[in-house]
Amino acid sequence: MYYDKWVEIDTDAIKYNLLQVQSRIPEEVRLIAVLKAQAYGHGAAEVARILYQNGVDFFAVSYLSEAMQLRNGGIRASILLFTPLIDYYQIKEAVENYITMAITSLYDAELLEEFAGGINQPVTVHLKIETGLGRFGLNAEEAAEICQKLSGYSNIYIEGIYTHMAEGGAANSRYTKRQFKKFQRVVQILEEAGYNIPVKHVANSAVFLKYPDMHLNAVRIGTLLSGQHPVADIKNPLQLVDPYKFKTHVIAIKNHKAGDYLGYSRTWRLADDAQVAVIPVGYYDGLALEVANQPTGWMDLFKRMVKMLLAYLNIRRFQLTVRIKGKSYPIRGKVFMQMALIEIPQDMVVNIGDEVELPIRKTLVADNTVRIYIKSGRAGKQGDIYRTSYLAGEE
Ligand SMILES: *Cc1c(COP(=O)(O)O)cnc(C)c1O
């Protein structure tokens, strides 16, 4: 089978990263592996399967559709949903598939009661407490009210309580500690009212590495398992391997003269005679897209402006480059919707069909891009995986 472009995922690297993370988790603390956004671009069901085979029995995702993808992929372990379900039929689907739901407001608690009151099936929930991220969650009074209401249903089990940190990676720990204190206070109020919720968790990747005293009973790890460190001030990083590579082929190559222009609006003019290769990947595939968030402060704004300036001045380290046969070459001109141009010096040998590795953010890769899974050097395709037991190591 021939692909225009594909993502390669090294399953041995995923396993290795898991071992690295596990080496820092005390025995009494559970690992909740966060597999949202296709396991950060690596393919949720496939990654879940690798992790499950290596002892992970608790997963989390943002949306019901993501949870169902895991269930349909044969994952039987616990799956926690981070977002509230706001529709009766969504709740029905979640309950029927043993999905653990987050209760984030009185609204979703009432909807759950409406549904769960009429059935015998067990329903497991975690209470989400808002402590300073501003996304969603309960305050102490709401949590107490919900505990009181839900404890009237013998089939509803409040298994967990959690919150999410706004700046766990920041050098200054004050806000994180304040959020933690607020969370502990809610837990205490509930315990004084007689509600003991067994699984408590607040730590994402950054908090996990920086605050061992905030591990509680469970940690929710996504970024580290995907082979990267969070943007954080971390003194004791793990050894991680990025399992991901985005690849394509050269589809055309042509000799050009010094002075020739490249691309729309003629933003690039060749300084020397060169070969120009075309690859079938553009901004539609996530190439050259910067995530357009507001700068976090003056320093961040300044850094971004300097980076743009250096890229404009064509300083090599700030150019967008690709790799072909182990060498790196710059992308030139404006990236097209579905193509891009690469400058290759006259004396280098590059041919049509040569493999090209590209710097595309794993979370921006289009959902329909094929993922090829590599295990001990052998390749298997997404989707074949369950049937061929390729990941199961049963060959
Ligand atoms: C994404 C997410 C995580 C995982 O965060 P990482 O920093 O990627 O480990 C944990 N908890 C919640 C609620 C999340 O949304």
The per-residue pLDDT for 148 is 97
At 319, list the tokens.
């150019």
As a whole number of angstroms, the distance between CA 179 and CA 185 comes to: 10
Nearest to 36 by CA among 176, 200, 226: 226
**Widest pairwise Cα distance in the chain:** 79
SS3 content of the chain, % helix, strand, coil (to 5): 35, 25, 40
Q: Which residues form the pocket of ligand 1, taking CB atoms under 6 Å from any ligand atom?
A: 34, 36, 82, 164, 204-206, 220-223, 230
pLDDT tens per residue, range 83-103 = 999 999 999 999 999 999 999
Nearest alpha carbon, ligand 1 atom 5: 204
Residue ranges of the chain whose pLDDT lies below 50: 385-395
Domains of the chain, start order: 12-221 (3.20.20.10), 251-353 (2.40.37.10)
Ligand 1 center–CA 93 separation, angstroms: 24
Residue 271 burial (CB < 10 Å; 0-12/13-18/19+)?
exposed
Among 82, 211, 231, which residue has the most ligand 1 atoms within 8 Å of its CB, making it the best to mutate?
82
Global pTM exceeds 0.95: no
From the CA of 230, give the closest atom in ligand 1: 7
Looking from the CA of residue 220, the nearest atom of ligand 1 is: 10
Q: Is 317 strand, coil or helix?
A: helix
Q: What is the pLDDT of residue 382?
A: 58
Sign of CA dihedral 354, 357, 360, 363: positive
Query: Distance between alpha carbon 309 and the CA centroid of its chain, in Å?
Result: 30
Who contacts 231 (Cβ-Cβ below 8 Å, separation ≥6)? 169, 206
Is 392 strand, coil or helix? Answer: coil
The confidence score (pLDDT) of residue 201 equals 98
Cα(203)–Cα(219) distance, rounded to whole angstroms?
A: 5
Closest CA to 89 of 55, 114, 69, 107: 114
SS3 277: strand
Spell out where the chain has E strands.
Answer: 5-10, 30-34, 58-61, 78-81, 101-103, 123-128, 156-162, 199-203, 218-221, 244-249, 252-256, 261-262, 268-269, 274-279, 321-324, 327-332, 340-345, 355-358, 370-375, 378-381
Active site residues: 36, 264
Question: Which amino acid is residue 78, in one-letter code?
Answer: S
69, 72, 36, 76: which is closest to 52 by C-alpha?
76
CA of 266 to the centre of ligand 1 (A): 42
Centroid of ligand 1 to alpha carbon of 171 (angstroms): 19
pLDDT in tens, 160-209: 999 999 999 999 999 999 999 999 999 999 999 999 999 999 999 999 99
pLDDT for the residue 291: 66
Indicate the length of the chain as a whole number: 395
CA of 204 to the centre of ligand 1 (A): 5
Here the tokens at position 68 are 């169902």
